Amino acid sequence: MIKGGPKKDLQAKHIQSILISQPKPETEKSPYFELAKKFNVKLDFYPFIRVEGLSAKDFRKQKIDIQNFTAVIFTSRNAVDHFFRICEEMKIKVSQDCKYFCITEAIALYLQKFILYRKRKVFYGADGSTKSLLEVMNKHRDNEKFLFPSSDSQRKDIEEWLKANKCEYATATLYKTVSNDVKEVIEGTEYDMIVFFSPYGVKSLFENVPKFEQNGTRIGSFGPTTSAAVEEAGLRLDVKAPTPQAPSMVAALEQYLAAINKK
C-alpha cells in the first residue's frame, strides 16, 4: 500500500524506498544501483506498461508506403525498434538518403543499431523538448515528406505542427501501449516515491487503482509530457527531469535525495 505522512512532513521525511516504473536494468553497472548504494535507499523496478507491436498484416491496412517518405520522426526508442521491425518483416529497404529527426540525442544515437550513422541525415533537438525538435524540422519542412511512426496514442503536438505547416506527412501506428497489472505492487508495498517515464504509466496507475490517493508519496517524472500527465491527474510533482541541472532521472533523484538528507 503506497502511503505517506501528512503534507507538512514531506520535506522532513527521508526517502527510504522508490518504485521505478520501468524494467530492472540488465547490468549491475546501472547508475540506479550506485544511487541506491550512495543514499541507502531501496529501489524496486516494475514496468507499469508494456508495448505490443502491430503485425505487418495490420500495418498494411493503414495503406502507408514507407518508401514514399524521405524523412522519419522518432520520439522514442520503441518507435525506432518497431519501424525497423516492420521494414524487415515487409522486406522494405529504407533509402540511404532517408533523414531521421529525433527528439533527443540519445534516440539519435540509438539509430546506430539499424543504420550507418551520418550527421548529415540524423538530426535531433537541442534540449529534448518537442519545441527544439520542431525548430530543427522547420528548416527542412519544405523539402521532405515526413513519416511519423508512433503508438496507438500518438503525440498530437507534432502532428498538429505538421498539419499547420502544410507538410507532406503521414502518421503510422506501429505499436500499442498496454497497462500491466500492477495493483498488487502498488497496494502490497509501501513506497516513499513513484517515478514515471511516460503518460501511459500514469494512466496505468489509475487503471489499476482508480481511487489512488497520493498523500505523502513523492512523485518523479521524466519528460515534459509525463510531467503534464502527472499534474493533469491531480498529483503533486516533486522531482522533474530533464532539466539543465539534471539531464537524467538519476541525476534529478540524486539532487533531490541529497537535499532531503540535509534536512
pLDDT tens figures, 131-157: 999 999 999 999 999 999 988 766 688
Residue 209: per-residue pLDDT: 95
User: DSSP of the chain, one letter per residue?
Assistant: ------GGGTTTSPP-EEEESSPPPSSTT-HHHHHHHHHT-EEEE--SEEEEEPPHHHHHTT---GGG-SEEEESSHHHHHHHHHHHHHTT----TT-EEEESSHHHHHHGGGTS---TTTEEE-SSSSHHHHHHHHHTTTTT-EEEEEEESS--HHHHHHHHHTT-EEEEEEEEEEEE---HHHHHHS--SEEEESSHHHHHHHHHH-TT---TT-EEEEESHHHHHHHHHTTPPP-EEE--SS--SHHHHHHHHHHHHHH-
Q: What is the mean pLDDT of the chain?
A: 91
Give yes or no for residue 239 having a pLDDT over 70: yes
The pTM is what? 0.71
Range 231-249 average pLDDT: 93
pLDDT tens figures, 42-58: 999 999 999 999 999 99
Indicate the domain borders of the chain.
17-44+180-233+241-262, 52-177
| CATH, domain 52-177, list 3.40.50.10090, 3.40.50.12140, 1.10.3470.10, 3.30.465.10 | 3.40.50.10090
Confidence band (pLDDT; 50, 70, 90) for 241? very high
52-177 matches 17-44+180-233+241-262 in CATH topology: yes
Fold of the 17-44+180-233+241-262 domain: Rossmann fold (3.40.50)
